[in-house]
Amino acid sequence: MFIQLLDILRIALVGIAFYVGYDQGFADTYDPVVQLHIMIPLVIVAIAGISGIEGLFFGRKAALAKGYETGSNYQKQSAIALLSYAFGSLLVYFADWGIYAELAVLFIFFFFFTFSAANHALEAIRHKNYKWQNINRPFILLLLLAGFVYPIIMFFR
């Protein structure tokens, strides 16, 4: 039950990040920098930060919810990597290193998340692991990409 609550929290925070980001980005004249400056750290902290905490401190329950083996060092290493994305995103944001640094962290996070989604999809296909915690990753990736495409394109335009 606790792992499902973390999943709901992740999704809710991402929803809030998108709502506030789009709201502020379109407040006056459209400003993709404002939008991305809000969305990037919130989304990365919501997904990577909560997932990292989940994997590090509640690893057994998280693995069982996904249908994976428990107690592997790989799981701890993955949780630490996720936390590094979250902390890196916060460092870039609070140090005010600028939108290019924020985008670099976002692209690195998306690189990881894309391969993670592929791994989860293969797990579902090969091992018929249709647990929600396993099969949601590819769909969440597609939704995230869809939400970030417009502001990123508009920024680089």
User: pLDDT digit string (tens) for 69-101?
Assistant: 777 788 889 999 999 999 999 999 999 999 999
- Among 5-14, 79-88, 115-124, the least confident range: 115-124
CA angle 65, 68, 71 (to 5 degrees): 100
pLDDT band at 33 (very low <50, low <70, confident <90, very high): very high
**What are the pLDDT digits (tens) for 52-64?**
999 999 877 776 6
What's the mean pLDDT when you consider all of the chain? Answer: 91
User: Could you tell me which of 2, 125, 131 has the C-alpha nearest to residue 54?
Assistant: 2
> What is the residue extent of each domain of the chain?
2-156
Amino acid at position 23, single letter? D
Higher-confidence residue of 59 and 119: namely: 119
- Residue 28 and residue 32: Cα distance in Å, rounded? 12
Per-residue confidence at 20, pLDDT binned at 50, 70, 90?
Answer: very high
How far apart CA 86 and CA 109 sit, in angstroms, is 9
